[in-house]
Structure 1
Amino acid sequence: MPDRPLLGAALQGDDLERLGERITAEHRDVELQDFFMAEVLNGDWRPEAARIKALLSGWRGRLGIHGPFWGIDMSTPDPEVRVIVTRRMMQALDVCDHMGADQMVVHSPYTPWDYHTLDHFAFRSAYDWLIANCRASMDPVVRRAEALGVEIVLENVQDKDPDIRGTLARAFDSAAMQVSLDTGHAEFAHGSFGAPPVDYYIRRAGAQLRHVHLQDSDGYADRHWPPGEGRINWPAVFRALHELEVMPRLILELSDKSQIPAAIDWLAAKGLAR
Protein backbone atom coordinates (compact mmCIF):
# COMPACT_ATOMS: atom_id res chain seq x y z
CA MET A 1 0.00 0.00 0.00
CA PRO A 2 1.49 3.43 -0.92
CA ASP A 3 2.38 5.71 2.00
CA ARG A 4 0.09 8.44 0.72
CA PRO A 5 -3.09 7.26 -1.04
CA LEU A 6 -4.36 9.08 -4.12
CA LEU A 7 -7.59 10.96 -3.41
CA GLY A 8 -10.61 10.81 -5.69
CA ALA A 9 -13.65 13.07 -5.90
CA ALA A 10 -17.44 12.94 -6.04
CA LEU A 11 -18.50 15.07 -9.00
CA GLN A 12 -21.21 15.81 -11.51
CA GLY A 13 -20.62 16.41 -15.19
CA ASP A 14 -20.47 20.20 -14.79
CA ASP A 15 -17.86 19.80 -12.04
CA LEU A 16 -15.73 17.67 -14.36
CA GLU A 17 -15.73 20.49 -16.88
CA ARG A 18 -14.42 22.92 -14.24
CA LEU A 19 -12.05 20.62 -12.33
CA GLY A 20 -11.28 18.03 -14.97
CA GLU A 21 -7.60 18.81 -15.40
CA ARG A 22 -6.81 18.20 -11.72
CA ILE A 23 -8.91 15.02 -11.66
CA THR A 24 -8.31 13.41 -15.04
CA ALA A 25 -4.67 14.38 -15.63
CA GLU A 26 -3.75 12.73 -12.34
CA HIS A 27 -6.09 9.78 -12.99
CA ARG A 28 -7.94 10.22 -9.71
CA ASP A 29 -10.95 8.04 -8.92
CA VAL A 30 -14.31 9.59 -9.77
CA GLU A 31 -17.70 9.01 -8.20
CA LEU A 32 -20.46 10.35 -10.43
CA GLN A 33 -23.37 12.00 -8.63
CA ASP A 34 -25.55 12.74 -11.64
CA PHE A 35 -27.65 9.58 -11.57
CA PHE A 36 -29.51 9.18 -8.28
CA MET A 37 -32.65 11.30 -8.75
CA ALA A 38 -35.85 9.55 -9.85
CA GLU A 39 -36.51 12.02 -12.65
CA VAL A 40 -33.03 11.38 -14.06
CA LEU A 41 -33.27 7.60 -13.85
CA ASN A 42 -36.78 7.63 -15.34
CA GLY A 43 -35.69 9.94 -18.14
CA ASP A 44 -33.10 9.78 -20.91
CA TRP A 45 -29.81 10.01 -19.02
CA ARG A 46 -27.73 8.77 -21.96
CA PRO A 47 -26.88 12.19 -23.45
CA GLU A 48 -25.38 13.29 -20.11
CA ALA A 49 -23.57 9.96 -19.84
CA ALA A 50 -22.09 10.54 -23.30
CA ARG A 51 -20.91 14.02 -22.29
CA ILE A 52 -19.24 12.63 -19.17
CA LYS A 53 -17.57 9.87 -21.17
CA ALA A 54 -16.10 12.51 -23.47
CA LEU A 55 -14.85 14.52 -20.47
CA LEU A 56 -13.17 11.37 -19.13
CA SER A 57 -11.50 10.49 -22.42
CA GLY A 58 -7.97 9.23 -21.74
CA TRP A 59 -8.55 9.07 -17.99
CA ARG A 60 -7.49 5.78 -16.28
CA GLY A 61 -8.93 6.08 -12.77
CA ARG A 62 -11.69 3.96 -11.25
CA LEU A 63 -15.31 4.97 -11.81
CA GLY A 64 -18.20 4.68 -9.38
CA ILE A 65 -21.63 6.23 -9.00
CA HIS A 66 -23.80 7.27 -6.09
CA GLY A 67 -26.97 5.22 -6.24
CA PRO A 68 -30.52 6.42 -5.45
CA PHE A 69 -31.24 7.52 -1.90
CA TRP A 70 -33.85 10.31 -1.75
CA GLY A 71 -37.00 8.56 -0.53
CA ILE A 72 -35.37 5.15 -1.01
CA ASP A 73 -35.40 2.87 2.04
CA MET A 74 -34.25 -0.64 1.28
CA SER A 75 -35.71 -1.84 4.60
CA THR A 76 -39.28 -0.94 3.68
CA PRO A 77 -41.78 -3.66 4.67
CA ASP A 78 -44.34 -2.46 2.11
CA PRO A 79 -44.21 -4.79 -0.91
CA GLU A 80 -45.48 -2.11 -3.29
CA VAL A 81 -42.86 0.42 -2.18
CA ARG A 82 -40.25 -2.34 -2.36
CA VAL A 83 -40.94 -2.70 -6.09
CA ILE A 84 -39.96 0.95 -6.56
CA VAL A 85 -36.79 0.57 -4.46
CA THR A 86 -35.68 -2.41 -6.52
CA ARG A 87 -36.50 -0.65 -9.79
CA ARG A 88 -34.49 2.46 -8.88
CA MET A 89 -31.48 0.37 -7.92
CA MET A 90 -31.73 -1.61 -11.15
CA GLN A 91 -31.91 1.65 -13.10
CA ALA A 92 -28.73 2.79 -11.37
CA LEU A 93 -27.06 -0.48 -12.34
CA ASP A 94 -28.09 0.27 -15.93
CA VAL A 95 -25.99 3.43 -15.59
CA CYS A 96 -23.07 1.46 -14.16
CA ASP A 97 -23.26 -0.98 -17.06
CA HIS A 98 -23.41 1.82 -19.63
CA MET A 99 -20.61 3.87 -18.06
CA GLY A 100 -18.30 1.02 -17.05
CA ALA A 101 -18.60 1.92 -13.36
CA ASP A 102 -17.58 -0.83 -10.94
CA GLN A 103 -18.83 0.58 -7.64
CA MET A 104 -22.19 1.97 -6.46
CA VAL A 105 -22.84 3.70 -3.14
CA VAL A 106 -26.19 3.11 -1.41
CA HIS A 107 -27.41 4.28 1.98
CA SER A 108 -27.70 2.18 5.11
CA PRO A 109 -31.28 1.99 6.44
CA TYR A 110 -30.34 2.13 10.13
CA THR A 111 -31.30 5.03 12.41
CA PRO A 112 -30.62 6.03 16.02
CA TRP A 113 -34.16 4.81 16.78
CA ASP A 114 -33.08 1.35 15.65
CA TYR A 115 -30.00 1.49 17.88
CA HIS A 116 -32.03 2.39 20.95
CA THR A 117 -35.16 0.32 20.25
CA LEU A 118 -34.48 -2.92 18.35
CA ASP A 119 -33.17 -4.57 21.52
CA HIS A 120 -36.48 -3.74 23.23
CA PHE A 121 -38.04 -6.65 21.38
CA ALA A 122 -37.86 -10.05 23.03
CA PHE A 123 -35.52 -11.90 20.66
CA ARG A 124 -33.52 -10.88 17.59
CA SER A 125 -36.69 -10.89 15.52
CA ALA A 126 -36.57 -7.11 14.96
CA TYR A 127 -33.02 -7.27 13.56
CA ASP A 128 -33.85 -10.29 11.44
CA TRP A 129 -37.06 -8.69 10.17
CA LEU A 130 -35.21 -5.56 9.05
CA ILE A 131 -32.54 -7.63 7.29
CA ALA A 132 -35.23 -9.75 5.61
CA ASN A 133 -36.90 -6.58 4.32
CA CYS A 134 -33.58 -5.32 2.94
CA ARG A 135 -32.92 -8.63 1.23
CA ALA A 136 -36.39 -8.64 -0.31
CA SER A 137 -35.60 -5.27 -1.91
CA MET A 138 -31.95 -5.83 -2.73
CA ASP A 139 -31.34 -9.53 -3.41
CA PRO A 140 -32.07 -9.21 -7.15
CA VAL A 141 -29.98 -6.03 -7.28
CA VAL A 142 -27.00 -7.72 -5.63
CA ARG A 143 -27.22 -10.72 -7.97
CA ARG A 144 -27.24 -8.44 -10.98
CA ALA A 145 -24.35 -6.43 -9.55
CA GLU A 146 -22.40 -9.69 -9.26
CA ALA A 147 -23.01 -10.39 -12.94
CA LEU A 148 -21.94 -6.87 -13.94
CA GLY A 149 -18.83 -6.81 -11.76
CA VAL A 150 -20.22 -3.93 -9.69
CA GLU A 151 -19.49 -3.63 -5.98
CA ILE A 152 -22.33 -2.15 -3.92
CA VAL A 153 -21.15 -0.36 -0.76
CA LEU A 154 -23.42 0.46 2.19
CA GLU A 155 -22.78 4.00 3.43
CA ASN A 156 -23.44 4.98 7.05
CA VAL A 157 -25.89 7.87 7.29
CA GLN A 158 -27.56 7.82 10.71
CA ASP A 159 -25.80 4.66 11.91
CA LYS A 160 -24.88 4.95 15.58
CA ASP A 161 -23.64 1.35 15.67
CA PRO A 162 -20.47 1.10 13.52
CA ASP A 163 -20.96 -2.67 13.05
CA ILE A 164 -24.57 -2.93 12.00
CA ARG A 165 -24.28 -2.21 8.29
CA GLY A 166 -21.41 -4.71 8.12
CA THR A 167 -23.77 -7.33 9.55
CA LEU A 168 -26.34 -6.38 6.91
CA ALA A 169 -23.75 -6.58 4.11
CA ARG A 170 -22.70 -10.08 5.21
CA ALA A 171 -26.33 -11.22 5.18
CA PHE A 172 -26.26 -11.06 1.37
CA ASP A 173 -23.43 -13.62 1.25
CA SER A 174 -21.93 -11.88 -1.77
CA ALA A 175 -18.65 -10.16 -2.55
CA ALA A 176 -20.80 -7.64 -4.41
CA MET A 177 -22.12 -6.18 -1.13
CA GLN A 178 -19.53 -4.39 1.01
CA VAL A 179 -19.27 -1.33 3.27
CA SER A 180 -18.68 2.39 2.81
CA LEU A 181 -17.82 4.99 5.42
CA ASP A 182 -18.77 8.66 5.29
CA THR A 183 -16.46 10.44 7.73
CA GLY A 184 -18.77 13.42 8.20
CA HIS A 185 -21.78 11.21 8.85
CA ALA A 186 -19.76 9.28 11.44
CA GLU A 187 -18.68 12.55 13.10
CA PHE A 188 -22.30 13.75 13.09
CA ALA A 189 -23.35 10.50 14.79
CA HIS A 190 -20.44 10.86 17.24
CA GLY A 191 -21.34 14.45 18.15
CA SER A 192 -25.13 14.24 18.09
CA PHE A 193 -25.92 10.64 19.08
CA GLY A 194 -22.93 9.56 21.16
CA ALA A 195 -21.53 7.16 18.53
CA PRO A 196 -17.82 6.21 18.51
CA PRO A 197 -15.30 8.50 16.77
CA VAL A 198 -14.55 8.20 13.07
CA ASP A 199 -11.40 6.09 13.33
CA TYR A 200 -13.31 3.47 15.32
CA TYR A 201 -15.77 3.10 12.40
CA ILE A 202 -12.83 2.33 10.12
CA ARG A 203 -11.34 -0.30 12.41
CA ARG A 204 -14.70 -1.94 13.03
CA ALA A 205 -15.43 -2.15 9.28
CA GLY A 206 -12.08 -3.81 8.63
CA ALA A 207 -11.76 -5.70 5.36
CA GLN A 208 -15.38 -4.92 4.43
CA LEU A 209 -14.52 -1.23 4.02
CA ARG A 210 -14.12 -0.61 0.30
CA HIS A 211 -15.08 3.05 -0.07
CA VAL A 212 -14.81 6.25 2.00
CA HIS A 213 -16.44 9.63 1.59
CA LEU A 214 -14.03 12.21 3.04
CA GLN A 215 -15.75 15.29 4.44
CA ASP A 216 -15.50 17.27 7.67
CA SER A 217 -18.17 18.17 10.20
CA ASP A 218 -18.67 19.95 13.50
CA GLY A 219 -20.56 16.95 14.91
CA TYR A 220 -23.83 18.87 14.88
CA ALA A 221 -24.92 18.52 11.26
CA ASP A 222 -23.98 16.85 7.97
CA ARG A 223 -21.74 19.67 6.74
CA HIS A 224 -19.69 18.26 3.86
CA TRP A 225 -16.94 20.74 4.64
CA PRO A 226 -13.38 20.33 3.35
CA PRO A 227 -11.06 18.44 5.72
CA GLY A 228 -9.66 20.88 8.26
CA GLU A 229 -12.79 23.04 8.57
CA GLY A 230 -14.49 20.78 11.12
CA ARG A 231 -13.32 18.81 14.11
CA ILE A 232 -12.42 15.38 12.69
CA ASN A 233 -9.01 14.07 13.75
CA TRP A 234 -7.61 13.41 10.28
CA PRO A 235 -4.26 11.88 11.37
CA ALA A 236 -6.24 9.32 13.40
CA VAL A 237 -8.48 8.61 10.38
CA PHE A 238 -5.51 7.95 8.08
CA ARG A 239 -3.71 5.88 10.70
CA ALA A 240 -6.75 3.62 10.88
CA LEU A 241 -6.96 3.46 7.07
CA HIS A 242 -3.33 2.37 6.85
CA GLU A 243 -4.04 -0.51 9.22
CA LEU A 244 -6.28 -2.09 6.56
CA GLU A 245 -4.80 -4.66 4.20
CA VAL A 246 -6.38 -2.93 1.19
CA MET A 247 -6.87 0.84 1.02
CA PRO A 248 -10.51 1.69 0.25
CA ARG A 249 -11.42 4.08 -2.52
CA LEU A 250 -11.04 7.57 -0.98
CA ILE A 251 -13.51 10.09 -2.37
CA LEU A 252 -13.72 13.75 -1.37
CA GLU A 253 -17.45 14.51 -1.15
CA LEU A 254 -17.77 18.26 -0.56
CA SER A 255 -20.79 20.54 -0.82
CA ASP A 256 -18.65 23.13 -2.61
CA LYS A 257 -16.88 21.21 -5.36
CA SER A 258 -14.64 24.19 -6.13
CA GLN A 259 -12.87 23.47 -2.82
CA ILE A 260 -11.75 19.99 -3.90
CA PRO A 261 -8.30 21.09 -5.21
CA ALA A 262 -7.62 23.00 -1.98
CA ALA A 263 -8.76 19.99 0.06
CA ILE A 264 -6.33 17.75 -1.84
CA ASP A 265 -3.54 20.25 -1.19
CA TRP A 266 -4.42 20.52 2.52
CA LEU A 267 -4.29 16.75 3.06
CA ALA A 268 -1.10 16.55 0.99
CA ALA A 269 0.52 19.27 3.10
CA LYS A 270 -0.32 17.23 6.20
CA GLY A 271 1.45 14.26 4.64
CA LEU A 272 -1.75 12.20 4.73
CA ALA A 273 -2.68 11.79 1.05
CA ARG A 274 -1.87 13.08 -2.40
Structure 2
Amino acid sequence: MTTRPILGAALCRDSLAAHRDWLLEAPRDLELQHFVDAPVLDGDWSGLADEVNRLLDGHQGRRGIHGPFWGFTIASYDPEVRRIVARRMDQALDVCAAVKGTHVVIHSPFTTWGYNHRGLYPTDTARLLEATRDTLGAALSRASDMGVTFVLENIEDVEPSDRAMLCAELGWQALELSVDTGHAHYAHVSTGAPPVDFYIRAAAGRLGHVHLQDADGFADRHWQIGHGTILWPSVFAALAQARAAGANPRLILELRDKAGVVPSAQYLKAMGLAE
Protein backbone atom coordinates (compact mmCIF):
# COMPACT_ATOMS: atom_id res chain seq x y z
CA MET A 1 0.00 0.00 0.00
CA THR A 2 1.56 3.28 -1.10
CA THR A 3 1.87 6.15 1.32
CA ARG A 4 2.25 8.63 -1.52
CA PRO A 5 -0.64 11.07 -1.97
CA ILE A 6 -3.30 10.24 -4.54
CA LEU A 7 -3.95 12.83 -7.22
CA GLY A 8 -7.34 14.08 -8.35
CA ALA A 9 -8.40 16.55 -11.01
CA ALA A 10 -10.57 19.54 -11.86
CA LEU A 11 -12.81 18.60 -14.77
CA CYS A 12 -15.65 20.12 -16.74
CA ARG A 13 -18.66 18.58 -18.45
CA ASP A 14 -16.76 17.77 -21.65
CA SER A 15 -13.86 16.07 -19.89
CA LEU A 16 -15.56 14.23 -17.04
CA ALA A 17 -16.71 11.20 -19.02
CA ALA A 18 -13.29 10.84 -20.69
CA HIS A 19 -11.59 10.59 -17.28
CA ARG A 20 -14.16 8.39 -15.55
CA ASP A 21 -12.03 5.22 -15.57
CA TRP A 22 -9.02 7.12 -14.19
CA LEU A 23 -11.16 8.66 -11.44
CA LEU A 24 -12.53 5.27 -10.43
CA GLU A 25 -9.22 3.36 -10.41
CA ALA A 26 -8.33 4.87 -7.01
CA PRO A 27 -10.10 7.15 -4.50
CA ARG A 28 -9.25 10.23 -6.55
CA ASP A 29 -10.68 13.57 -5.47
CA LEU A 30 -12.64 15.53 -8.05
CA GLU A 31 -13.47 19.18 -8.54
CA LEU A 32 -16.30 20.13 -10.87
CA GLN A 33 -15.81 23.29 -12.91
CA HIS A 34 -19.28 23.37 -14.43
CA PHE A 35 -20.79 25.85 -12.00
CA VAL A 36 -18.59 28.95 -11.87
CA ASP A 37 -20.62 31.09 -14.26
CA ALA A 38 -23.56 33.25 -13.17
CA PRO A 39 -25.87 32.12 -16.03
CA VAL A 40 -25.43 28.51 -14.92
CA LEU A 41 -26.14 29.31 -11.28
CA ASP A 42 -29.17 31.41 -12.19
CA GLY A 43 -30.52 28.77 -14.57
CA ASP A 44 -31.78 25.22 -14.14
CA TRP A 45 -28.62 23.24 -13.42
CA SER A 46 -30.42 20.24 -11.93
CA GLY A 47 -30.06 18.16 -15.08
CA LEU A 48 -26.32 18.82 -15.12
CA ALA A 49 -26.04 17.75 -11.49
CA ASP A 50 -27.98 14.56 -12.23
CA GLU A 51 -25.65 13.84 -15.15
CA VAL A 52 -22.62 14.27 -12.91
CA ASN A 53 -24.03 11.90 -10.31
CA ARG A 54 -24.76 9.25 -12.94
CA LEU A 55 -21.26 9.47 -14.38
CA LEU A 56 -19.69 9.23 -10.93
CA ASP A 57 -21.55 6.15 -9.77
CA GLY A 58 -18.90 4.12 -7.91
CA HIS A 59 -16.56 7.08 -7.37
CA GLN A 60 -14.81 6.74 -3.99
CA GLY A 61 -12.91 10.03 -3.78
CA ARG A 62 -14.08 13.32 -2.36
CA ARG A 63 -15.78 15.68 -4.74
CA GLY A 64 -16.52 19.38 -4.71
CA ILE A 65 -16.93 22.40 -6.94
CA HIS A 66 -15.08 25.52 -7.91
CA GLY A 67 -17.30 28.26 -6.64
CA PRO A 68 -18.24 31.44 -8.50
CA PHE A 69 -15.65 34.21 -8.66
CA TRP A 70 -16.04 36.25 -11.84
CA GLY A 71 -16.45 39.97 -11.30
CA PHE A 72 -16.33 40.25 -7.51
CA THR A 73 -14.31 39.92 -4.33
CA ILE A 74 -15.46 38.35 -1.07
CA ALA A 75 -14.32 41.55 0.71
CA SER A 76 -16.11 44.29 -1.19
CA TYR A 77 -16.52 47.52 0.75
CA ASP A 78 -19.89 48.03 -0.97
CA PRO A 79 -22.72 46.42 1.03
CA GLU A 80 -24.87 45.95 -2.09
CA VAL A 81 -22.08 43.97 -3.76
CA ARG A 82 -21.64 41.90 -0.61
CA ARG A 83 -25.30 40.89 -0.80
CA ILE A 84 -24.85 39.68 -4.37
CA VAL A 85 -21.73 37.71 -3.44
CA ALA A 86 -23.49 36.16 -0.44
CA ARG A 87 -26.25 34.97 -2.79
CA ARG A 88 -23.67 33.41 -5.10
CA MET A 89 -22.13 31.56 -2.17
CA ASP A 90 -25.55 30.23 -1.21
CA GLN A 91 -26.13 29.07 -4.79
CA ALA A 92 -22.77 27.29 -4.72
CA LEU A 93 -23.83 25.41 -1.61
CA ASP A 94 -27.08 24.38 -3.33
CA VAL A 95 -25.01 22.90 -6.16
CA CYS A 96 -22.57 21.27 -3.74
CA ALA A 97 -25.41 19.48 -2.00
CA ALA A 98 -26.86 18.28 -5.31
CA VAL A 99 -23.56 16.75 -6.50
CA LYS A 100 -22.69 15.30 -3.06
CA GLY A 101 -19.74 17.65 -2.71
CA THR A 102 -17.68 18.47 0.36
CA HIS A 103 -15.69 21.53 -0.77
CA VAL A 104 -16.20 24.85 -2.53
CA VAL A 105 -13.24 26.84 -3.86
CA ILE A 106 -13.41 30.60 -3.35
CA HIS A 107 -10.86 33.29 -4.17
CA SER A 108 -8.66 35.27 -1.82
CA PRO A 109 -9.41 38.99 -1.40
CA PHE A 110 -5.72 39.94 -1.00
CA THR A 111 -4.17 41.87 -3.90
CA THR A 112 -0.76 43.03 -5.03
CA TRP A 113 -2.02 46.61 -4.74
CA GLY A 114 -3.09 46.00 -1.16
CA TYR A 115 0.25 44.44 -0.26
CA ASN A 116 2.26 47.32 -1.71
CA HIS A 117 0.12 49.88 0.13
CA ARG A 118 0.11 48.04 3.45
CA GLY A 119 0.50 50.46 6.34
CA LEU A 120 -0.50 53.55 4.40
CA TYR A 121 -4.15 53.09 5.35
CA PRO A 122 -4.18 51.60 8.88
CA THR A 123 -7.86 50.64 8.83
CA ASP A 124 -7.66 48.51 5.67
CA THR A 125 -7.12 45.16 7.41
CA ALA A 126 -10.03 45.72 9.78
CA ARG A 127 -12.28 46.78 6.89
CA LEU A 128 -11.29 43.71 4.86
CA LEU A 129 -12.00 41.39 7.80
CA GLU A 130 -15.37 42.96 8.49
CA ALA A 131 -16.39 42.90 4.82
CA THR A 132 -15.41 39.23 4.51
CA ARG A 133 -17.26 38.35 7.71
CA ASP A 134 -20.40 40.07 6.42
CA THR A 135 -20.15 38.37 3.01
CA LEU A 136 -19.41 34.81 4.11
CA GLY A 137 -20.92 34.52 7.58
CA ALA A 138 -24.26 32.97 6.63
CA ALA A 139 -22.74 30.70 3.97
CA LEU A 140 -20.06 29.39 6.30
CA SER A 141 -22.60 28.65 9.01
CA ARG A 142 -24.68 26.73 6.49
CA ALA A 143 -21.59 24.96 5.13
CA SER A 144 -20.67 23.80 8.62
CA ASP A 145 -24.14 22.28 9.07
CA MET A 146 -23.79 20.54 5.68
CA GLY A 147 -20.31 19.15 6.30
CA VAL A 148 -18.92 21.30 3.47
CA THR A 149 -15.67 23.28 3.62
CA PHE A 150 -14.93 26.51 1.78
CA VAL A 151 -11.28 26.53 0.68
CA LEU A 152 -9.68 29.94 0.18
CA GLU A 153 -7.38 29.98 -2.85
CA ASN A 154 -4.43 32.33 -3.29
CA ILE A 155 -4.77 34.60 -6.33
CA GLU A 156 -2.54 37.69 -6.16
CA ASP A 157 -1.37 36.96 -2.61
CA VAL A 158 2.22 38.11 -2.02
CA GLU A 159 2.37 37.23 1.68
CA PRO A 160 1.64 33.48 2.15
CA SER A 161 0.39 33.92 5.73
CA ASP A 162 -2.33 36.49 4.96
CA ARG A 163 -5.09 33.95 4.27
CA ALA A 164 -4.17 31.97 7.39
CA MET A 165 -4.53 35.18 9.36
CA LEU A 166 -7.94 35.76 7.78
CA CYS A 167 -9.12 32.27 8.72
CA ALA A 168 -7.83 32.62 12.26
CA GLU A 169 -9.45 36.02 12.73
CA LEU A 170 -12.80 34.83 11.42
CA GLY A 171 -12.61 31.62 13.43
CA TRP A 172 -14.84 29.53 11.17
CA GLN A 173 -14.44 25.76 11.17
CA ALA A 174 -15.84 25.54 7.64
CA LEU A 175 -12.99 27.58 6.14
CA GLU A 176 -9.64 26.07 5.13
CA LEU A 177 -6.79 27.12 2.89
CA SER A 178 -6.12 26.29 -0.73
CA VAL A 179 -2.83 26.78 -2.54
CA ASP A 180 -2.72 27.15 -6.31
CA THR A 181 0.83 26.33 -7.38
CA GLY A 182 0.69 28.39 -10.58
CA HIS A 183 -0.68 31.45 -8.81
CA ALA A 184 2.03 31.17 -6.17
CA HIS A 185 4.73 30.76 -8.84
CA TYR A 186 3.42 33.84 -10.67
CA ALA A 187 3.52 35.83 -7.41
CA HIS A 188 7.07 34.58 -6.75
CA VAL A 189 8.50 35.41 -10.16
CA SER A 190 6.49 38.51 -11.08
CA THR A 191 5.78 40.24 -7.75
CA GLY A 192 8.62 39.17 -5.45
CA ALA A 193 6.69 36.70 -3.30
CA PRO A 194 8.32 33.60 -1.77
CA PRO A 195 8.49 30.31 -3.73
CA VAL A 196 5.54 27.93 -4.02
CA ASP A 197 6.52 25.66 -1.14
CA PHE A 198 6.39 28.62 1.29
CA TYR A 199 2.66 28.97 0.57
CA ILE A 200 2.08 25.35 1.46
CA ARG A 201 4.21 25.61 4.62
CA ALA A 202 2.29 28.72 5.70
CA ALA A 203 -1.01 26.81 5.40
CA ALA A 204 0.35 23.87 7.44
CA GLY A 205 -2.41 21.89 9.16
CA ARG A 206 -5.13 24.16 7.77
CA LEU A 207 -4.34 23.15 4.17
CA GLY A 208 -7.49 21.62 2.72
CA HIS A 209 -6.92 21.81 -1.01
CA VAL A 210 -4.22 22.31 -3.66
CA HIS A 211 -4.53 23.22 -7.33
CA LEU A 212 -1.58 21.61 -9.10
CA GLN A 213 -0.60 23.33 -12.33
CA ASP A 214 2.69 24.22 -13.94
CA ALA A 215 3.63 27.71 -15.09
CA ASP A 216 6.53 29.96 -16.04
CA GLY A 217 5.93 32.62 -13.40
CA PHE A 218 4.81 35.25 -15.88
CA ALA A 219 1.14 34.31 -16.16
CA ASP A 220 -1.50 31.87 -14.91
CA ARG A 221 -0.65 29.14 -17.46
CA HIS A 222 -2.33 26.00 -16.10
CA TRP A 223 0.18 23.93 -18.04
CA GLN A 224 0.70 20.19 -17.82
CA ILE A 225 3.02 19.24 -14.96
CA GLY A 226 6.62 19.27 -16.17
CA HIS A 227 6.03 21.88 -18.87
CA GLY A 228 6.86 24.85 -16.63
CA THR A 229 9.49 25.81 -14.07
CA ILE A 230 7.92 24.89 -10.70
CA LEU A 231 10.25 22.80 -8.50
CA TRP A 232 7.97 19.85 -7.72
CA PRO A 233 10.17 18.03 -5.18
CA SER A 234 10.05 21.11 -2.93
CA VAL A 235 6.28 21.34 -3.34
CA PHE A 236 5.71 17.72 -2.33
CA ALA A 237 8.18 17.98 0.55
CA ALA A 238 6.09 20.86 1.89
CA LEU A 239 2.93 18.81 1.34
CA ALA A 240 4.43 15.99 3.40
CA GLN A 241 5.03 18.48 6.23
CA ALA A 242 1.43 19.72 5.99
CA ARG A 243 0.14 16.15 6.14
CA ALA A 244 2.33 15.50 9.18
CA ALA A 245 0.70 18.55 10.80
CA GLY A 246 -2.73 16.98 10.33
CA ALA A 247 -3.76 18.28 6.89
CA ASN A 248 -5.47 16.03 4.37
CA PRO A 249 -5.60 18.23 1.28
CA ARG A 250 -7.36 17.40 -1.96
CA LEU A 251 -4.63 17.39 -4.63
CA ILE A 252 -6.36 18.62 -7.75
CA LEU A 253 -4.67 18.76 -11.16
CA GLU A 254 -6.19 21.96 -12.59
CA LEU A 255 -5.04 22.16 -16.20
CA ARG A 256 -6.24 24.25 -19.10
CA ASP A 257 -5.88 21.29 -21.47
CA LYS A 258 -7.56 18.33 -19.79
CA ALA A 259 -5.66 15.94 -22.06
CA GLY A 260 -2.68 16.66 -19.81
CA VAL A 261 -4.29 15.30 -16.62
CA VAL A 262 -3.20 11.66 -16.93
CA PRO A 263 0.28 12.53 -18.34
CA SER A 264 0.74 14.94 -15.41
CA ALA A 265 -0.18 12.21 -12.94
CA GLN A 266 2.23 9.83 -14.67
CA TYR A 267 5.00 12.45 -14.53
CA LEU A 268 4.59 12.92 -10.76
CA LYS A 269 4.36 9.17 -10.24
CA ALA A 270 7.60 8.66 -12.18
CA MET A 271 9.23 11.19 -9.85
CA GLY A 272 8.08 9.14 -6.88
CA LEU A 273 5.96 12.02 -5.58
CA ALA A 274 2.33 10.91 -6.00
CA GLU A 275 -0.02 8.30 -7.40
Residue in 2 that maps onto 1:4 = 4
Can you list the C-alpha shifts for 1:120-153, whole angstroms capped at 9, x where unaligned?
A: 12x4x21111111111111111111111110101
Alignment of 1:1-274 (within 5 A): 3-121=3-121, 123=122, 125-244=123-242, 245=244, 246-274=247-275
Q: State the shift of 1:12 in Å.
A: 1.3
* CA distance in structure 1 between the partners assigned to 2:47 and 2:257 by the alignment: 25
Name the SS of the counterpart of 1:250 in structure 2: strand
Identity of aligned residues (%): 48
The more displaced of 236-245 and 38-47 is 236-245
Name the SS of the counterpart of 1:120 in structure 2: coil
The more displaced of 54-63 and 22-31 is 22-31
Name the SS of the counterpart of 1:232 in structure 2: coil
One-letter identity of the residue aligned with 1:225 = W
Unaligned 5+ residue runs, structure 1? none
- TM-score norm. by structure 2 comes to 0.96
Q: State the shift of 1:25 in Å.
A: 2.9
One-letter identity of the residue aligned with 1:180 = S
Contact 1:170 1:177 in 2 (8 A): no
Q: State the shift of 1:2 in Å.
A: 5.4
The more displaced of 196-205 and 11-20 is 11-20
Contact 2:215 2:227 in 1 (8 A): yes
Q: State the shift of 1:57 in Å.
A: 0.6
* CA distance in structure 1 between the partners assigned to 2:3 and 2:45 by the alignment: 39
Name the SS of the counterpart of 1:167 in structure 2: helix
Can you list the C-alpha shifts for 1:33-71, whole angstroms capped at 9, x where unaligned?
A: 111110000000000110110000111110111000111
Q: State the shift of 1:162 in Å.
A: 0.4
Can you list the C-alpha shifts for 1:196-253, whole angstroms capped at 9, x where unaligned?
A: 0001111111111110000011000000011111110000000111012233110000
Q: State the shift of 1:115 in Å.
A: 0.6
Paired residues, what number? 272
One-letter identity of the residue aligned with 1:111 = T
* CA distance in structure 2 between the partners assigned to 1:260 and 1:250 by the alignment: 12
Name the SS of the counterpart of 2:226 in structure 1: coil
Contact 1:13 1:51 in 2 (8 A): no
Contact 1:76 1:133 in 2 (8 A): yes
* CA distance in structure 2 between the partners assigned to 1:65 and 1:171 by the alignment: 25
Contact 1:108 1:155 in 2 (8 A): yes
Name the SS of the counterpart of 1:21 in structure 2: helix
* CA distance in structure 2 between the partners assigned to 1:227 and 1:234 by the alignment: 9
Name the SS of the counterpart of 1:142 in structure 2: helix
Q: State the shift of 1:262 in Å.
A: 0.5
- TM-score norm. by structure 1 comes to 0.97
Q: State the shift of 1:72 in Å.
A: 2.3
Name the SS of the counterpart of 2:117 in structure 1: helix
C-alpha RMSD of the superposition: 1.2
* CA distance in structure 2 between the partners assigned to 1:141 and 1:101 by the alignment: 15
Contact 2:158 2:187 in 1 (8 A): yes
* CA distance in structure 1 between the partners assigned to 2:84 and 2:36 by the alignment: 13
Name the SS of the counterpart of 1:118 in structure 2: coil
Q: State the shift of 1:175 in Å.
A: 1.2
Name the SS of the counterpart of 1:93 in structure 2: helix
* CA distance in structure 2 between the partners assigned to 1:76 and 1:157 by the alignment: 16
One-letter identity of the residue aligned with 2:254 = E
